[in-house]
Amino acid sequence: MVKVKVRTGRGTGTIDVDVEDLKFSGLEFKALQKERKRLAGNRIVSTNKGTGSRKLQDTPEPSDKPEPKVTLSNRGTKVVKV
């Protein structure tokens, strides 16, 4: 069980909500996402502001982000190569 803060009233207030399981990141989510994609099968979704379409099963797998080659500091004025 996890406590989550939820925004209320035009974003001015918060309430704490108990949530059973959060599956939106990590390896567990990737497995869940792959299973949902397999179950979707030949469903067609709109792309490019509704001008294109593609089958969900043809959606490419997400790739890992590359490591940054530089680090910024001092309000973005100093660049350190890694």
What residue ranges do the domains of the chain occupy? Answer: 2-62
Please give the pLDDT value at position 81: 80
Alpha-carbon gap, residue 17 to 66, rounded angstroms: 35
Place of tokens 């190569």: 81
The model's pTM: 0.45
Q: How many CB atoms lie within 10 A of CB 22?
A: 11
pLDDT averaged over the chain? Answer: 83
Q: Would you place residue 2 in the very low, low, confident or very high pLDDT band (cuts 50, 70, 90)?
A: confident
Q: What are phi and psi of 38, to 5 degrees?
A: -65, -40
DSSP characters for 27-71?
A: HHHHHHHHHHHHHHTT-EEEETTTTEEEEGGGSPPPPPPPPPSEE
